[in-house]
């Protein structure tokens, strides 16, 4: 039986269409079609692939406002946020590839040690085949399209399985690629939920790029292990913000409010634990509270905070707040969650302790728990106790201290005197440590991650043999022993038998 997903605006409840989920046969057929398309697509020049991207960039620029409105309709986020974080970031990433992909994907010469003379060595970046992108609902456009574009630039064909929570954005992406006019089979969008995702994984794509929860990431990795499919996992976070007593407090307060409540806190990198130095706690709390109370909630414009996107997430946010309040925390703002509303009031909690869910588990909602610390070592320990390690921020006017602390945090990304923003620099790789994921995208390593790095070593081929080849002789032992001492020992071990052995070995080459 065909399942149908409704297209629903979470902020208004309006249902504006539906889409049929892909059947298992359609999933298998899509992978087969993408595999057939791969031969021709991987043989196109990078310049040609980039031309398709440029035409997408032009379309995003011309139709950005309209596209942002559609993303707002799918998610309940305010349109400005949809524009900044989904459209702008995508256009910027395309531009980055137009400028730098050539250099990042060109064969890269590497040095060859003298003992291997006259060989030359280089790395060739080879497309992998069919890349499956499985994406979440919180930034349903850019978290799907940026990995897709990265895979395409690197010469792969792509199958997207967008989130079933925001299916209209999956349709939007499908339409955009039709407008761009990619060859048949180069991009396929398979609509549906976890069954479609799981079928896609078992249809044996050549790489899986997954963004979503830790629980699903583990399932995908286990299923991929059956066929040794490489996986890249961009998972959850419990991102800390550390405010030292010498930080620009007003800036830190503005950063905390935005970092905690943007996209209603449904951000893998949102500030979910705030550690402020005890000396500035009162003033900082006053500032953060005042700024939080000034936020306007609404949809889709003239507001800072939109609605939640996923009704299921509201239950988790509520459980975390209830758990904290029952254990003695105080809601300085917000706190009262009505399950029948998709709008959650931005909530600041004080009096929280490390054992509470709100400090340990990913909340993914507009909640900012604030605690104090008294010294650097203590706060580093508290931050690093988390099983997550996606992003973090350190706020201080002391550059050396901020960098020292940043480098000690177990986190894939760290911002100093800012939040979340590391992701906005496409030159920086992005990804997590510990439960926050495996692998990196963005930056040169992130693009090369969509290729096989093939190591090629090239000998001119004019000698009849090599030093290390058969038949073995006592001369080879003497020669290698002499070389080992010369190259890696404290002093060379030259003697007449060694020199004679080398001479005889040299003659055997010709
Ligand atoms: P999710 O894990 O529930 O779903 C993500 C995607 O996986 C969806 O498309 C879903 O249909 C699919 N899926 C579910 N089960 C599957 C299975 N067994 N096999 C294959 N596919 C399956 O995550 P979500 O609720 O959509 O997203 C929120 C989570 O994503 C949060 O934990 C958040 O922190 C994380 N996230 C991480 C990043 C990052 O870059 N690290 C970015 C955004 C969101």
Return the structure tokens found at 34: 């993408």
pLDDT of residue 494: 81
The residue whose C-alpha atom lies closest to atom 42 belonging to ligand 1 is 268
Q: Decide the pairing of beta strands 271-277 and 207-211.
A: unpaired
Atom of ligand 1 nearest to the CA of 216: 2
Is residue 212 within 6 Å of ligand 1 at its C-beta?
yes
Q: Decide the pairing of beta strands 207-211 and 130-134.
A: parallel
Atom of ligand 1 nearest to the CA of 423: 40
SS3 assignment for 91-110:
HHHHHHHHHHHHHHHCCEEE
Is residue 316 within 6 Å of ligand 1 at its C-beta?
no
Which active-site residues does the annotation give?
Answer: 234, 268
Alpha-carbon separation of residue 234 from 72, 137, 221, 330, 420 (angstroms): 23, 13, 12, 33, 15
Neighbours of 88 (CB within 10 A): 17
Pocket test for ligand 1, best of 21, 89, 136, 197 (most atoms within 8 A of CB): 136
Residue showing tokens 């030259």: 494
pLDDT of residue 491: 87
pTM over 0.85: yes
84: exposed, middle or buried (C-beta count within 10 Å: 0-12, 13-18, 19+)?
middle
pLDDT of residue 111: 98
Is residue 198 within 6 Å of ligand 1 at its C-beta?
yes
Reported as a single tens digit per residue, the pLDDT across 427-458 is 999 999 999 999 999 999 999 999 999 999 99
Is residue 211 within 6 Å of ligand 1 at its C-beta?
yes
Pocket test for ligand 1, best of 213, 262, 420 (most atoms within 8 A of CB): 213
Atom of ligand 1 nearest to the CA of 236: 34
In 3-state terms, what secondary structure has residue 43?
Answer: helix
CA 216 / ligand 1 centre spacing (Å): 6
Reported as a single tens digit per residue, the pLDDT across 209-261 is 999 999 999 999 999 999 999 999 999 999 999 999 999 999 999 999 999 99
CA 382 / ligand 1 centre spacing (Å): 27
Higher model confidence: residue 117 or residue 339? 117
pLDDT of residue 336: 79
CA 212 / ligand 1 centre spacing (Å): 2
In the chain, what percentage of residues exceed pLDDT 70? 99
Distance between CA 215 and CA 218 in Å, rounded? 5
pLDDT of residue 492: 83
Give the H/E segment covering residue 455: strand 451-458
Instruction: Tell whether the model's pLDDT for residue 1 goes beyond 80.
Output: no
Is residue 227 within 6 Å of ligand 1 at its C-beta?
no
Q: Decide the pairing of beta strands 120-127 and 108-110.
A: antiparallel
Return the structure tokens found at 140: 């349903």
Residue showing tokens 């997590």: 432
Distance between CA 442 and CA 141 in Å, rounded? 16
Is residue 237 within 6 Å of ligand 1 at its C-beta?
yes
Neighbours of 362 (CB within 10 A): 24
Is residue 224 within 6 Å of ligand 1 at its C-beta?
no
Return the structure tokens found at 336: 């009262």
Is residue 74 within 6 Å of ligand 1 at its C-beta?
no
Instruction: Tell whether the model's pLDDT for residue 2 goes beyond 80.
Output: no
Residue 150 pLDDT level (bands cut at 50, 70, 90): very high
Distance between CA 180 and CA 173 in Å, rounded? 11
Q: Find the range with the poorest average confidence among 332-341, 404-413, 465-474, 477-486.
A: 332-341
Distance between CA 136 and CA 121 in Å, rounded? 40
Is residue 235 within 6 Å of ligand 1 at its C-beta?
yes
pLDDT of residue 99: 98
Q: Are 51 and 156 in contact (CB under 8 A)?
A: no
Question: Considering only CA atoms, which of 249, 496, 273 is closest in space to residue 379?
Answer: 273
Return the structure tokens found at 363: 């909340």
The residue whose C-alpha atom lies closest to atom 30 belonging to ligand 1 is 212
Atom of ligand 1 nearest to the CA of 201: 20
Give the H/E segment covering residue 247: none
Reported as a single tens digit per residue, the pLDDT across 187-202 is 999 999 999 999 999 9
Distance between CA 288 and CA 249 in Å, rounded? 10
Instruction: Tell whether the model's pLDDT for residue 337 goes beyond 90.
Output: no
Question: Read out DSSP for 131-184?
Answer: EEEE--SSSTTHHHHHHHHHHHHTT-EEEEE--TTSHHHHHHHHHHHHHHTPPT
> Which fold does the domain 23-52+102-235+443-454 belong to in CATH?
Aldehyde Dehydrogenase; Chain A, domain 1 (3.40.605)
Alpha-carbon separation of residue 233 from 34, 99, 413 (angstroms): 22, 27, 15
CA 4 / ligand 1 centre spacing (Å): 20
Question: Read out DSSP for 314-383?
Answer: HHHHHHHHHHHHHTT-EEEE-----TT-SPPPPEEEES--TTSHHHHS---SSEEEEEEESSHHHHHHHH
Phi, psi at 19, each rounded to 5°: -140, 145
Instruction: Tell whether the model's pLDDT for residue 151 goes beyond 80.
Output: yes
Angle, helices 46-75 vs 89-105, to 10°: value is: 160
Instruction: Tell whether the model's pLDDT for residue 339 goes beyond 80.
Output: no
The residue whose C-alpha atom lies closest to atom 28 belonging to ligand 1 is 212
Q: Mean pLDDT for the chain?
A: 97
Is residue 232 within 6 Å of ligand 1 at its C-beta?
no
The residue whose C-alpha atom lies closest to atom 14 belonging to ligand 1 is 194
Is residue 213 within 6 Å of ligand 1 at its C-beta?
yes
Residue showing tokens 């001492």: 485
Q: Find the range with the poorest average confidence among 83-92, 454-463, 482-491.
A: 482-491
User: What residue spans define the domains of the chain?
Assistant: 23-52+102-235+443-454, 239-424, 463-509
Instruction: Indicate the CATH number of 239-424 among 3.30.365.10, 3.30.360.10, 3.30.565.10, 3.40.309.10.
Output: 3.40.309.10
Instruction: Tell whether the model's pLDDT for residue 168 goes beyond 90.
Output: yes
CA 160 / ligand 1 centre spacing (Å): 13
Strands of the 451-458 sheet, one edge to the other: 108-110, 120-127, 451-458
Distance between CA 495 and CA 345 in Å, rounded? 83
CA 182 / ligand 1 centre spacing (Å): 27
């Amino acid at each position: 039986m065909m399942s149908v997903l409704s297209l629903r605006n979470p902020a208004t409840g309006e249902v504006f269409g539906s889409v049929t989920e892909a059947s298992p046969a359609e999933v298998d057929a899509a992978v087969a079609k993408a595999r057939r398309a791969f031969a021709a697509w991987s043989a196109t020049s990078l310049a040609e692939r980039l031309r398709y991207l440029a035409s997408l960039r032009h379309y995003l620029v011309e139709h950005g406002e309209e596209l942002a409105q559609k993303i707002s309709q799918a998610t309940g986020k305010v349109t400005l946020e949809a524009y900044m974080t989904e459209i702008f970031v995508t256009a910027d990433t395309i531009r980055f590839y137009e400028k730098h992909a050539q250099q990042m994907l060109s064969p890269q010469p590497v040095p060859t040690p003298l003992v291997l003379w006259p060989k030359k060595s280089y790395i060739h970046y080879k497309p992998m085949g069919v890349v499956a992108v499985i994406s979440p609902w919180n930034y349903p456009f850019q978290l799907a399209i940026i990995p897709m574009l990265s895979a395409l630039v690197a010469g792969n064909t792509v199958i997207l399985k967008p989130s079933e929570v925001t299916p209209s954005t999956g349709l939007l992406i499908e339409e955009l690629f039709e407008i761009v006019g990619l060859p048949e089979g180069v991009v396929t969008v398979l609509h549906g939920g976890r069954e479609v995702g799981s079928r896609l994984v078992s249809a044996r794509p050549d790489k899986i790029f997954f963004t979503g929860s830790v629980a699903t990431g583990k399932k995908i990795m286990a299923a991929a292990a059956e066929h040794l499919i490489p996986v890249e996992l961009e998972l959850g976070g419990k991102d800390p913000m550390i405010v030292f007593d010498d930080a620009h407090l007003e800036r830190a307060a503005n950063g905390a409010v935005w970092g905690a409540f943007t996209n209603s806190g449904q951000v893998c990198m949102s500030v979910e634990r705030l550690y402020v130095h005890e000396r500035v706690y009162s003033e900082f709390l006053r500032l953060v509270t005042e700024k939080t109370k000034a936020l306007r909630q609404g949809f889709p414009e003239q507001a800072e905070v939109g609605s939640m996107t996923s009704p299921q997430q509201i239950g988790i946010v509520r459980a975390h707040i209830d758990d904290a309040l029952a254990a003695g925390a105080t809601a300085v703002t917000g706190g009262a969650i009505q399950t029948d509303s998709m709008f959650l009031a931005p909530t600041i909690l004080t009096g929280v302790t490390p054992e509470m869910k709100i400090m340990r588990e990913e909340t993914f909602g507009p909640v900012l728990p604030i605690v104090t610390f008294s010294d650097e070592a203590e706060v580093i320990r508290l931050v690093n106790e988390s099983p997550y390690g996606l992003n973090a921020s350190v706020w201080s006017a002391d550059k050396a201290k901020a960098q020292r602390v940043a480098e000690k945090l177990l986190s894939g990304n760290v911002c100093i005197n800012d939040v979340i923003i590391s992701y906005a620099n496409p030159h920086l790789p992005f990804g997590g440590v510990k439960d926050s994921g495996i692998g990196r995208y963005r930056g040169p390593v992130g693009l090369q991650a969509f290729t096989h790095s093939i190591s090629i070593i090239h000998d001119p081929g004019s000698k009849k043999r090599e030093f290390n080849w058969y038949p073995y002789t006592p001369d080879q032992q003497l020669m290698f022993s002499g070389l080992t001492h010369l190259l890696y020992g404290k002093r060379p071990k030259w003697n007449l038998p060694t020199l004679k052995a080398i001479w005889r070995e040299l003659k055997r080459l010709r």
